[in-house]
Amino acid sequence: MHIVCSHCFATNRLPEDKQVAEAKCGKCQKTVYSGKPVVLGSNNFYAFIERNDMPIIVDFWASWCGPCQAMAPVFENVAKQSAGLLFAKLNTEHAQQISADAGIRSIPTLIFFHKGKELDRVSGGLSEAQLKTWVMQCVQKHSAKSNKL
């Protein structure tokens, strides 16, 4: 399994049975993923999305957006509780081209990616229960799709 380090963005190969929370990066020696959403930008978005073998949920947000600010702690709490998934944030003000490429029309928008491909999305502020429900639906869709291959 490949996972991109959330600190230096180097790609690491991990055994399938290795817990991501325990894995150290071969380049920077830090934990590859801490359970906190990774801050992405124009310089690392595509590498992080495309080179990770684990599913990733990206929060497209902006600093001026009230619902984005309200949902930020909810997103972080769910990230801490969701082993087997990676969470990331992209500030749409700083990465306008990526936001346009992703077809972001309203914020906050969450997109569930796997190996660079969008599998699902939801727009608008969500409560913790709503976010957990959406994440579980995405995981179930992903599992069903993976089992068909």
Closest C-alpha among 85, 73, 87 to residue 136: 85
Closest C-alpha among 147, 53, 68, 72 to residue 106: 68
Residues 49-64: pLDDT tens digits? 999 999 999 999 999 9
The distance of Cα 80 from the centroid of its chain, to the nearest Å, equals: 12
Q: Residue 65 catalytic?
A: yes
- The CATH H-level (homologous superfamily) assignment of domain 35-148 is Glutaredoxin (3.40.30.10)
Q: What is the reported pTM? A: 0.92
The residue annotated as part of the active site, out of 5, 25, 65, 138, is 65
The distance of Cα 8 from the centroid of its chain, to the nearest Å, equals: 16
Q: Domain extents for the chain?
A: 35-148
With cut-offs at 50, 70 and 90, classify the pLDDT of residue 145: low
Res 114: pLDDT: 93
The sheet carrying 109-114 orders its strands as 38-40, 86-91, 56-61, 109-114, 117-123
The residue annotated as part of the active site, out of 5, 25, 68, 138, is 68
Closest C-alpha among 103, 91, 104, 37 to residue 62: 91
Place of tokens 């359970």: 35
Residues 106-140: pLDDT tens digits? 999 999 999 999 999 999 999 999 999 999 999 98
Q: Region 17-44: what's the mean pLDDT? A: 89
Res 147: pLDDT: 61
Cα–Cα distance between 58 and 40 in angstroms, integer? 9
Cα–Cα distance between 106 and 83 in angstroms, integer? 28
Res 130: pLDDT: 97
Three-state SS at 101: helix
- Residue 146 scores a pLDDT above 70: no
